[in-house]
A = this chain, B = another copy of it.
Amino acid sequence: MTADPETTLRADARRNRDQILAAAKNIFAMSGPEVPMEEIARAAGVGVGTLYRRFPDRDALVRAVAMDNFERVLIDARVIAEEETSSWRALERLLRQSVELQLSVQLAMVSHRALVILKSDPEVRRLRDEILSVLDGFVDGAKAEGKLRDDVGAGDIAILFATLLRQMRAKSPEVAEMAARRCVGIMIDGLSARPGSALPGRPITSGDLDPD
């Protein structure tokens, strides 16, 4: 039974690792995944060497941040699935609530580089697929409940998700945050089962997402 890295680390090493991850998450969210490694190290209060000891190169760090974010989203989604009896409500809540998701999605999408890194990582894929499978459940249920329009699939929602929940830059952080919540609101209204007009194309399923 080999201990997994997260468990094995010495207490201080552990603390450092967490600080680095947190710092990277913030900085990536703010300035994209190309920021100088030194800046991340500084923000985490460690030397570059320490950063590199924990994450052998930038790609490893990007991956780790993405994993961490996705994990939180998955946990959120599962808690919601437990607590809500209506799938439509679950869907709404997932969309509205997930702040972590903002970050992960943002990271995943903001840069070509990050995208390439993440797509090649089987662990990230696995996590994403788990999230999508929970989402699939919500979508099916909400359609059955008659609350979700029939002409959308989980893929549509994932894309809206990914696209909408990016950090909005606007006047002030307050406006930005308000804007984010309003966007989600409009989107949810657009999704609910009394559409004004049919959507073009066909429902996008989770299987349609990056089939490469």
- Interchain CA distance A108-B68 in the complex, whole Å: 28
Beyond A32-B112, A181-B200, A186-B160, is A208–B169 a contact (Cβ under 8 Å)?
Answer: no
A105 to chain B, nearest CB (A): 11
Beyond A169-B115, A189-B195, is A181–B208 a contact (Cβ under 8 Å)?
Answer: no
Out of B109, B162, B169, B190, which one reaches A191, CB within 8 Å?
B190
Beyond A34-B34, A171-B208, A179-B159, is A186–B185 a contact (Cβ under 8 Å)?
Answer: no
**Chain A contact patch, size range:** 35 or more
Contact B119 A170 (CB under 8 A): yes
A60 within 8 A of B: no
Q: Which of A162-212 contact B (CB under 8 A)?
A: 162-164, 166, 168-172, 175, 178-179, 181-183, 185-192, 194-197, 199-202, 204, 208-212
Q: Which residues of A contact B (CB under 8 A)?
A: 30-32, 34, 109-112, 115, 119, 152, 155-156, 159-160, 162-164, 166, 168-172, 175, 178-179, 181-183, 185-192, 194-197, 199-202, 204, 208-212
Beyond A179-B204, A183-B160, is A212–B31 a contact (Cβ under 8 Å)?
Answer: no
Report B-chain residues with C-beta under 8 Å of the C-beta of A30. 112
This chain: copies in complex: 4
Which of A111, A115, A119, A201 has its CB near the most chain B CB atoms (within 10 A)? A201
- Interchain CA distance A202-B185 in the complex, whole Å: 12
Beyond A159-B170, A200-B181, A204-B182, is A31–B189 a contact (Cβ under 8 Å)?
Answer: no
Contact B186 A112 (CB under 8 A): no
Out of B112, B182, B209, which one reaches A156, CB within 8 Å?
B182
9 CB-based A-B contacts, threshold 8 Å: A30-B112, A160-B183, A163-B168, A170-B204, A171-B210, A171-B212, A175-B204, A186-B199, A188-B190
Report B-chain residues with C-beta under 8 Å of the C-beta of A185. 190, 197, 199-200
Report B-chain residues with C-beta under 8 Å of the C-beta of A178. 200-202, 204
Out of B159, B189, B212, which one reaches A197, CB within 8 Å?
B189
